[in-house]
Structure 1
Amino acid sequence: MQHINLSYSWTPHQAQTEQRDQTSPLRNPLMDMLQAVRATGSIAGAARVLQLSYRHVWGELKRWEQVLAQPLILWEKGQAGRLTEFADKLLWAERQAQARLAPQISTLQAELEKTFAVAFDPDSHLLTVYASHDDALVKLREHSASQSLHLDMRFCGSVDAIRALNEGRCTVAGFHAPLQPDASTLTARTYKPLLKTGQHKLIGFATREQGWMVAPGNPLNITGWNDLRRPELRLVNRTLGTGTRLLLDQWLENQTPSANRPTGYEHEEPSHSAVATRIASGHADLGLGIASAAHAQKLDFVPLTQEHYWLVCLKSALNNPAVIALRQVLQSADWQHLLSQQTGYRLHEEAGQIQSLKQCLPWWPHR
């Protein structure tokens, strides 16, 4: 059984147009050589048709015979070049595949051309973003693509996102923190070592609600943080390094006497939507998340706190054309209208504006 590997190449626009008029968009050099040998009756004739040297065509045919472990040409001295039965079957199989798959091949080619057009468009920009999972960021990715700004977005925990920024794996990171995070909180103690005044700059993005996602109708009458003390309730948790996990662990840390770990504390999910799905399927009773994720799964939502969702970049990246384009999108009326329609979100009052860490996060003493 032979394995098929697909590849693609680029050609000038005019040459590509002419090629489409004559051949299939999916071509194989071996098939072209076999067809040329059949049409001309010789390797020399095939080389002329293909505009290749005789030595190259002869060598490639010999090489392919070794790769396929089958003869392709009847190498008879003084006789016209003829294909073997195996080579005839190869050409037949190729014609059958082309006939069956031509529509799918043409669609794939068009999609590849559309995607790669971004790389050749001098007015388009690409921005790599690592960020805490957020539904509004998904909307932003869709909207910004129509503005020639393409966000290569990787969702991970807030801590991992900032680390990726500091290690040069992305240009912008996304993280979230309570509106008024005290300097002694677990959130502050976690983020502060990762963010340096004078080195990092915040970009206003959005304000959103975090709360309990619960079953439709809230049949267990879950109303606030203290419900975590109810041993019969099954929690679904977020993974370590996420801002949402920091909120829950902060509450547990503040309890006097210390609260026992809730039932289900060890069961972790990587995103708000995954938490919502587990609750909707009846495998958990409550989990921290954002209102939009609860709404998408038709769950009830019990608001607990509001928080800022920040984008952050290095000061040295502020003049990056892609970062400038991002800020312009965030300040546009079209984007602000889209965000206002997203459940559980409010536009940040300084959306798209550069903010200093000291002005927005009370984790450093003001001079």
Structure 2
Amino acid sequence: MHSVSLHYTLSHRDDSDTTSNNEAALLRHPLMDLLQAVDQQGSISAAARQLSLSYRHVWGELKRWEDVLGHELIIWEKGQSAKLTEFGGKLMWAERQTQARLAPQLEALRADLERTFAVAFDPDAHVLTLYASHDDALPRLREHAANEGLHLDIRFCGSVDAIRALNEGRCTLAGFHTQSHPGDASHTAAAYKNLLQPGLHKIIGFATRSQGLITAAGNPLQLQNLTDVVRTQARFVQRSPGTGTRVLLDDLLRQDHIQPNALNSSAEEEPSHTALAEAIASGRGDVGLGIESTAAARSLGFVPLVREQFHLVCLKSALDTPATQALRTLLQAPTWHEVLNALPGYAAQDSGQVQSLNQQLPWWTFRRTKKAS
């Protein structure tokens, strides 16, 4: 069985271009153009002239495709007009049938590709790649930003992996979250201190959000804190190692003087707040640590435990690029604050503002005479 692959081309088209939209929309194969020209003209040389190609090129391509497909395409009889073989005729029939059946879908695909690639040719449009911890506000930011000509390529992963991606040059921005002013001995410091460096990295404020216990609807076990979770031995749904929420949980357990192994943790770890909420909604667990907006979206119970900050971080060299400046401007706009504040548990705080790394994450010590980062 032969396989089929799809191809498209990019070309400049001004307003005076008279090519019909339908013709431009159809996916074309160069072999079909050769066969159609031979069928219409009755000779290789005339087909070559019609296509503005050399006789040698057309003849060579037809022979090459015969070898590739394992069938003859042209009746090669000296002194006779060139004709398609039965197989060549069936290929032309298959082409016509495909174009007739798929024309609307092909036109929609072409239009979608054209809109997407238009961003690359628009000097006022910008694209930013963002690796970030799972967050419910970021997809809304992506939609909101697209209307302003800023296109966010968001990849969700753990907070630690997001910052590593930034340091390795795989993205322009990384998103991670922490409690306010975490201490030097915290798990947060252990996770992020070696990944971030004052003078090299810059924090851009994004939002605050509420993290807490996500429970079944109505909180049937009446859980109010992590101590209750341990006391009742409620089935605790864990997040994956390396996620910001897993780091936060370790700090909250330490603050409550609870050993991690005291939790009745499930063996299966969830990669996102949404997956954790689904596990609880389906009865695979009783409780887990997650954000309020995700609990509200699934009509689950929620007990707030901590107000945390979601940070965006970039390299200092990227701070004043047009794309990053466009994002900072958008984050400071009242229209975005309305979108953000409408999400349960979220609030705009210093959104779009460049913040001091060693003030937000006070793990480094400097002499007072040294300029703050």
Distance in 2 (alpha carbons) for counterparts of 1:257 and 1:310: 27
Report the number of matched residues: 366
Moved more, 227-236 or 194-203: 227-236
Q: CA-to-partner distance for each residue in 1:326-364, whole Å, 9 max, x for gaps?
A: 10000111111111111110111x211111112222222
Task: Name 1:328's counterpart in structure 2.
Answer: 329
- Structure 1: unaligned runs, 5 residues or longer: none
Q: Secondary structure at the match of 2:340?
A: helix
Q: Within the alignment, does 1:240 sit opposite 2:256 as a pair? A: no
CA distance in 2, matches of 1:265, 1:90: 57
- The AA in structure 1 aligned to 2:248 is L
Three-state SS of the structure 1 residue aligned to 2:152 is strand
Is contact 1:216–1:298 with CA below 8 Å preserved after alignment? yes
Task: Tell me what 2:87 maps to.
Answer: 86
Whether 1:119 and 2:120 are equivalent positions in the alignment is yes
Deviations 1:242-290, CA, capped at 9 Å, x for gaps: 1110121223445557463422253211110110011011110001100
Q: Match of 2:371?
A: none
* Alpha-carbon distance in 1 for matches of 2:329, 2:93: 56
TM score, norm. by length of structure 2: 0.94
Question: 1 CA distance for matches of 2:34 and 2:92?
Answer: 10
The 10-residue stretch of structure 1 (6-15 or 127-136) with the greater mean CA deviation from structure 2:
6-15
CA distance in 1 between counterparts of 2:17 and 2:64 reads: 28
How far does residue 236 in structure 1 lie from its aligned partner after superposition? 0.8
Summarize deviations over 1:183-217 as a string: whole Å, max 9, x none. Answer: 21111222111111111111011010000111111
Give 1:271's aligned residue. Answer: 272
Within a 5 Å distance, the mapping from 1:60-79 to structure 2 comes to 60-79=61-80
CA 111–17 in structure 1, closer or farther in 2 if over 3 Å, else same = farther
Structure 1 residue aligned with 2:110:
109
- The secondary structure found in structure 2 opposite 1:223 is coil
Q: Structure 2: how far apart are the matches of 1:300 and 1:30?
A: 62
2:250 match: secondary structure = helix
Is residue 334 of structure 2 the alignment partner of residue 364 of structure 1? no
The CA deviation at 1:23 is 6.5
Contact 1:231–1:263 (CA under 8 A) maintained in structure 2: no
Q: Which whole-Å CA distance do the structure 2 matches of 1:41 and 1:123 have between them? A: 51
Post-superposition offset of 1:2: 1.2
Deviation at 1:164, TM superposition (A): 1.0
Say if 1:311 and 1:220 are closer, same or farther in 2 by CA, change over 3 A. Answer: same
Q: In 2 relative to 1, CA 281–254 (structure 1 residues): closer, same or farther, beyond 3 Å? A: same
Q: Is the 8 A contact 1:229 1:259 kept in 2?
A: no
SS of 2:194 mapped into structure 1: helix
Matched, 1:199 2:190: no
Residue 318 in 1 paired to residue 319 in 2?
Answer: yes
- What is the aligned partner in structure 2 of residue 355 from structure 1? 355
Q: What residue number does 1:226 align with?
A: 227
Q: Deviations over 1:109-154 (max 9, x none)?
A: 1111011111111100011111111111111111111111111111
Deviations 1:148-181 (A, max 9, x none): 1111111111111111111111111111000242
Letter in 2 for 1:274: A
Q: Helix, strand or coil for the counterpart of 1:67?
A: helix
SS of residue matched to 2:235: coil
**1:26 aligns to what?**
27
Letter in 1 for 2:132: A
Query: How far did residue 223 of structure 1 move?
Result: 0.7
The TM-score normalised by the length of structure 1 is: 0.96
Distance 1:17 1:266 in 2: 63
Unaligned runs of 5+ in 2: 369-373
Is the Cα–Cα contact under 8 Å of residues 223 and 229 in structure 2 kept in the other structure? no
For residues 339 and 255 of structure 2, what CA distance do their matches in structure 1 show? 37
- Between stretches 160-169 and 202-211, larger displacement belongs to 160-169
